């Protein structure tokens, strides 16, 4: 008895056996072969023709196999499954190809020198081992950091007003937040340009850019935070209040810690919304080729500006610089998001 | 396996608790008897067995009193003219079919009623001679003195077991010096200490449902309330956890007054000294009858009460 128990190995009886996989494998081979044949003998040509025929053949083959092996219901199930896979691939393929292009065009000629030099002494056309994008790095760091510092408290407090305080104007505030999230980004830039620079007489600077990005970032942070706070069960609020806490103590000690990882996601989404914004920055930071360490005054660069400028110049080296800028920005954002996810993960909450 | 534990543990734990709480011998005896009840088949037997052990409650020492309570949600009148006394040192059960206003009533007692936007109220809730709804009363102080345990276990997910128990103090900004002692005594009084003493730094969500509910009880005890309101505390729990929580209720009833809403009439008969029967005939809920538990289950005065406790409706 105990012998048999010891002999038992964990198994997965629901896994497909080779015999079951075989028809599917043959079906897949047939699909590809038939597609190649059809493309060869019919006037459908090129990548588009191939893709269309492949999709049609895949649906037909999978449905036919299921129908033969099982019944109509299984055939319907298989058809839907294939359609879902195709839909998913329509989303993934463009994303993957964008990433692929960025890596292909941006990752070459990367060097450490890029992070220590700016473009003040280098023409965009000069070889890629000269110059760098330190100025863009510093500019984006300033602009995004200030925008985050400004918009995180405003956004989260707005969400708290809508969800927790449920003040008299909660509906109005929610409406304006939603309306604001549809504002074109250049309008935010124009707004800061008109108010902060024209009326108040300030010059181009990183803070002006940060203000413009804040206008764009608040609605994203507020809306996402609102959704996150709504997910916190009402009994937690009641539990806090029933223990004799004020509303503020309940929010600060119970609601916000419980929603922490969601709120961090809200801020990440906000940063993702603004980090690549070009139009509002063109109007507010002025653009520069040299490092400017003072965020309060003086023209500032940023990654989107650096990319935009080099693309406009249009020579081969300049375009390569633009791709490098995109690549480096992407990697930095990736690292930052990974860190935020890691530190924001809810520990121990298994539910 | 868990069954065995369940049947053996209570006795061990009782011994522990009587040492800690310094309760007298008589209390321990009565609980031992409760663990080995006589053959009780009807609710009246259960109720009688309990009240016989408990002796007469301390009548006259009024802790909490509801006077002519009416409640509305919007224009809907949900409670009509409820007057009840909750004596200190006793357990009062509120029974009645769903929708008769029991939960609304106990939420009125610690001013949780006002969180529902359309809610309205008339009447008085007297705590130690003062109306808790008087203008200018600090509502957070009321809720410190009248604690609440909810239907669904709701430990704070971002806090460890230890932090959960002590959260009431931090939430109400009360400073104490002997936090560890308080932690231990609260968990012991809630009957959870032995199960969690080695894992105080784990998160509350890692406990089972019954343990979570006892954690919530321990959390309410930490701020030392005079009255503990329990809104169907066992409705989401298995019989073993229910048994432990009922023991906890008995244990606590010597030091505070407890109001428990329950749909389980066996439970009402087992744990309570007084029982109030609520009923709504489509209109507002009314308190049909309120008396000692044995009276309600043995010799109810009202026909409706008799029908309900004998299972003819509801």
pLDDT, tens digit, for every residue of A71-118?
889 899 999 999 999 999 999 999 999 999 999 988 877 888 788 888
CB B260 within 8 A of CB B233: yes
**Chain A residues with CB within 8 Å of chain B CB:** 166, 233, 235-236, 238-246, 249-250, 253-254, 257-258, 260, 346-351
Domain count, chain B: 1
Q: Return phi, psi of residue A201, to 5°.
A: 75, 25
Lookup: tokens for A64: 């036919």
Whether the predicted pLDDT of B247 surpasses 60 = yes
- Percent of residues, chain A, with pLDDT higher than 90: 45
Determine the pLDDT at residue A346. 56
- For residues B256 and A251, what is the distance between their CA atoms, to the nearest angstrom? 29
Contact B172 A253 (CB under 8 A): no
Give the mean model confidence (pLDDT) for residues B197-225.
90
For B253-295, how does the pLDDT look when each residue is reduced to its tens digit (9 = 90+)?
A: 888 889 999 988 889 988 998 999 999 888 889 999 998 888 8
Decide if B146 contacts B229 (C-beta within 8 A): yes
B228 pLDDT band, cuts 50/70/90, is: very high
Domain range annotation of chain A = 18-106, 134-344
Closest CA in chain B for residue A248 = B171
Mean pLDDT of B30-37: 43
Indicate if the pLDDT at residue B30 is higher than 80: no
**Separation in Å, CA of A234 to nearest CA in chain B:** 10
Quote the mean pLDDT of chain B: 81
**pLDDT of B188 over the 80 cut:** yes
Q: What is the pLDDT of residue A342?
A: 81
**Closest chain B residue to A345 measured between Cα atoms?**
B158
Query: Does the complex come out with an ipTM higher than 0.90?
Result: no
CA angle B208, B212, B218 (to 5 degrees): 145
Which residues of B are less than 8 Å from A254 in CB distance?
156, 158, 167, 171
Asked if A242 lies within 8 A of B112 by C-beta distance, the reply is yes
Confidence of residue A290 (pLDDT cuts 50, 70, 90): confident
Exposed/middle/buried for residue A56 (C-beta within 10 Å: 0-12, 13-18, 19+): middle
The Cα–Cα gap between A32 and A28 comes to 6
pLDDT at B31 over 80: no
Average the pLDDT over A228-250 and give the result: 91
> Is the per-residue pLDDT at A333 higher than 90?
no
| pLDDT in the model for residue B14 | 41
Compare all CA atoms of chain A with the CA of B141 and give the residue at the minimum distance: A244
Judge residue B208's burial from the number of C-beta atoms within 10 Å of its C-beta, 0-12 exposed, 13-18 middle, 19 or more buried: middle
CB-CB neighbors (< 8 A) of B202 in chain A: 348
The minimal CB distance from A245 to the residues B140, B158, B216 is found for: B140
Task: Identify whether B314 is part of a domain.
Answer: no
- For residue A5, what pLDDT is reported? 60
Q: According to the model, what pLDDT value does residue A340 have?
A: 79
For residue A175, the model assigns a pLDDT of 94
Instruction: Quote the CA–CA distance of B65 and A174 in Å, as a whole number.
Output: 43
Residues 6+ apart with CB under 8 A from B81: B68, B69, B70, B123, B286, B287
Residue B41 has a pLDDT of: 55
Q: Please enumerate in sequence order all residues whose Cβ is within 8 A of that of A209, keeping only pairs 6 or more positions apart, or say none.
A: A139, A143, A147, A280, A281, A284, A285, A300, A302
A238 contacts in B (CB within 8 Å)?
112, 115, 148, 150, 154
Task: Please give the model's pTM, rounded to 2 decimal places.
Answer: 0.77
Given an 8 Å threshold on Cβ–Cβ distance, is A349 in contact with B203? yes
Residue, of A44 and A284, whose pLDDT is higher: A284
| CATH code at position B230 | 3.40.50.300
| Per-residue pLDDT at B229 | 93
**Helix (H) or strand (E) run with residue A57 in it:** helix A46-69
A8 pLDDT more than 80: yes
Closest Cα in chain B, distance from residue A254 (Å): 7
pLDDT of res. A213: 95
User: What average pLDDT does range B116-122 have in this prediction?
Assistant: 89
The whole-number pLDDT of residue B28 equals 39
Asked if the model's pLDDT at residue B32 lies above 70, the reply is no
Phi/psi class of residue B232: alpha, beta or left (left: φ > 0; alpha: ψ in -120 to 50)? left
- Contacts of residue B156 in chain A, CB cutoff 8 Å? 236, 239-240, 253-254, 257-258
Asked if B216 lies within 8 A of A257 by C-beta distance, the reply is no
Q: A243 vs B160: CB contact, 8 Å cut-off?
A: no
Give the tens place of pLDDT for each residue, B91-112. Answer: 999 999 888 889 999 999 989 9
Average pLDDT of chain A to the nearest whole number: 88
Predicted confidence at residue A13, as pLDDT, reads 83
Mean pLDDT of B220-235: 90
For A168, half-sphere exposure in the C-beta direction (CA atoms, 13 angstrom radius) is 0
Interface test with A, best of B114, B151, B154, B233 (most A CBs within 10 A): B154
Count CB-CB contacts under 10 A for residue A186.
Answer: 16
**Residue B259 falls inside a structural domain:** yes
Nearest to A348 among B147, B152, B203 (CB): B203
Residue A288 — very low, low, confident or very high, per pLDDT cuts 50/70/90? confident
pLDDT at residue B51, rounded to an integer: 57
Question: Which of B171, B219, B220 lies closest to A249 in CB terms?
Answer: B171
Provide the pLDDT for residue A10: 84
Q: Give which of A153, A150, A113 is closest to A134, Cα–Cα.
A: A113
Question: In Å, what is the CA distance from B286 to each residue of B32, B49, B125, B261, B304?
Answer: 37, 28, 17, 15, 12
Per the structure, the complete domain to which residue B56 belongs is given by 2-309
For residue B39, the distance in angstroms to the closest alpha carbon of chain A comes to: 39
Q: Note the CATH architecture for domain A134-344.
A: Orthogonal Bundle (1.10)
Say which range, B12-21, B179-188, B302-311, has the weakest mean pLDDT.
B12-21
Domain assignment of residue B263, yes or no: yes
- When CB atoms are compared, the residue of A244, A258, A260 closest to B156 is A258
pLDDT higher than threshold 60 for residue A200: yes
The confidence score (pLDDT) of residue A3 equals 54
Under the banding of pLDDT at 50, 70 and 90, the label for residue A11 is confident
Strand partners, B69: B82
Whether A146 shows a pLDDT value over 90: the answer reads yes
The mean-pLDDT minimum among A46-50, A307-311, B184-188, B264-268 falls in A46-50
Q: What is the mean pLDDT of residues B147-165?
A: 91
Question: Which residues of B are less than 8 Å from A253 in CB distance?
Answer: 156, 167, 170-171
**Nearest CA-CA distance, residue A68 and chain B, Å:** 49
Residue B96: how many other CB atoms lie within 10 Å: 25
C-beta atoms of B143 and A243 within 8 A = yes
Instruction: Answer whether residue A69 shows pLDDT above 50.
Output: yes
pLDDT above 80 for B25: no
The pLDDT value recorded for residue A291 is: 87
pLDDT at residue B37 above 50? Answer: no
């Amino acid at each position: 008895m105990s012998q048999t128990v010891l002999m038992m190995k964990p198994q997965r009886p629901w896994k497909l056996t080779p015999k079951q996989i075989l028809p599917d494998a043959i079906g897949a081979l047939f699909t590809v072969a038939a597609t190649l044949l059809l493309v060869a003998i019919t006037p459908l040509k090129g990548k588009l023709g191939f893709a269309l025929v492949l999709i049609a053949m895949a649906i037909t083959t999978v449905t036919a196999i299921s129908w033969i092996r099982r019944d109509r219901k299984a055939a319907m199930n298989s058809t839907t499954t294939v359609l879902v896979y195709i839909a998913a691939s329509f989303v993934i393929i463009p994303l993957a190809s964008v990433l692929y292009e960025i890596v292909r065009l941006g990752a070459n000629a990367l060097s450490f020198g890029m992070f220590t030099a700016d473009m003040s002494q280098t023409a965009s056309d000069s070889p890629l081992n000269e110059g760098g994008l330190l100025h863009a790095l510093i500019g984006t760091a300033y602009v995004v950091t200030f925008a985050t510092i400004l918009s995180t408290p405003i956004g989260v407090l707005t969400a708290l007003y809508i969800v927790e305080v449920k003040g008299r104007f909660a509906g109005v505030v929610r409406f304006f937040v939603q309306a604001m999230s549809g504002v074109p980004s250049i309008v935010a830039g124009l707004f800061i340009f008109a108010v902060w620079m024209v009326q108040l007489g300030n010059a181009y600077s990183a803070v002006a850019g940060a203000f413009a990005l804040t206008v764009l970032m608040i609605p994203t942070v507020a809306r996402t935070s609102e959704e996150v706070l709504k997910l916190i069960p009402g009994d937690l609020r009641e539990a806090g209040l029933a223990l004799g806490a004020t509303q503020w103590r309940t929010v600060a000690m119970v609601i916000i810690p419980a929603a922490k990882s969601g709120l961090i996601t809200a801020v990440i989404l906000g940063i993702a919304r603004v980090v690549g914004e070009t139009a509002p920055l063109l109007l507010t930071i002025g653009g520069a080729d040299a490092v400017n360490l003072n965020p309060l005054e003086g023209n500032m660069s940023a990654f989107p500006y650096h990319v935009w400028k080099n693309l406009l110049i249009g020579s081969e080296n300049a375009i390569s610089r633009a791709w490098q800028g995109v690549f480096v920005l992407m990697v930095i954002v990736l690292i930052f998001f990974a860190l935020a996810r890691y530190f924001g993960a809810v520990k121990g909450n298994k539910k | 396996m868990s069954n065995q534990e369940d049947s053996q543990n209570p006795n061990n734990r009782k011994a522990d608790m009587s040492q800690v709480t310094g309760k007298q011998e008589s209390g321990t005896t009565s609980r031992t008897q409760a663990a080995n009840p006589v053959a009780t088949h009807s609710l009246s037997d259960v109720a009688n067995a309990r009240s016989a052990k408990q002796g007469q409650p301390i009548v006259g020492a009024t802790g909490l009193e509801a006077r002519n309570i009416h409640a509305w949600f919007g224009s809907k009148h949900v409670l009509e003219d409820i007057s009840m006394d909750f004596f200190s040192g006793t357990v009062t059960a509120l029974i009645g079919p769903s929708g008769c206003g029991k939960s609304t009533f106990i939420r009125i007692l610690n001013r949780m009623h006002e969180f529902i936007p359309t809610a309205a109220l008339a009447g008085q809730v007297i705590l130690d001679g003062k109306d808790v709804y008087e203008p200018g009363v600090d509502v957070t102080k009321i809720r410190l003195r009248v604690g609440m345990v909810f239907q669904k276990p709701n430990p704070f997910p971002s806090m460890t077991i230890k932090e959960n128990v002590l959260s009431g103090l931090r939430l109400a900004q009360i400073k104490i010096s002997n936090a560890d002692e308080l932690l231990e005594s609260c968990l012991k009084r809630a009957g959870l200490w032995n199960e969690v003493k080695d894992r105080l730094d784990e998160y509350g969500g890692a406990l089972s449902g019954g343990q979570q509910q006892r954690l919530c009880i321990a959390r309410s005890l930490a701020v030392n309330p005079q009255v503990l309101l329990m809104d169907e505390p066992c409705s989401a729990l298995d019989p073993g956890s229910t048994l432990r929580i009922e023991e906890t209720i008995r244990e606590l009833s010597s030091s505070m007054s407890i109001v428990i809403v329950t749909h389980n009439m066996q439970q009402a008969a087992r744990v309570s000294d007084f029982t109030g029967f609520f009923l709504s005939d489509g209109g507002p809920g009314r308190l049909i009858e309120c008396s000692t538990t044995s009276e309600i289950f043995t010799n109810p005065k009202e026909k409706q009460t008799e029908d309900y406790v004998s299972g003819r409706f509801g």
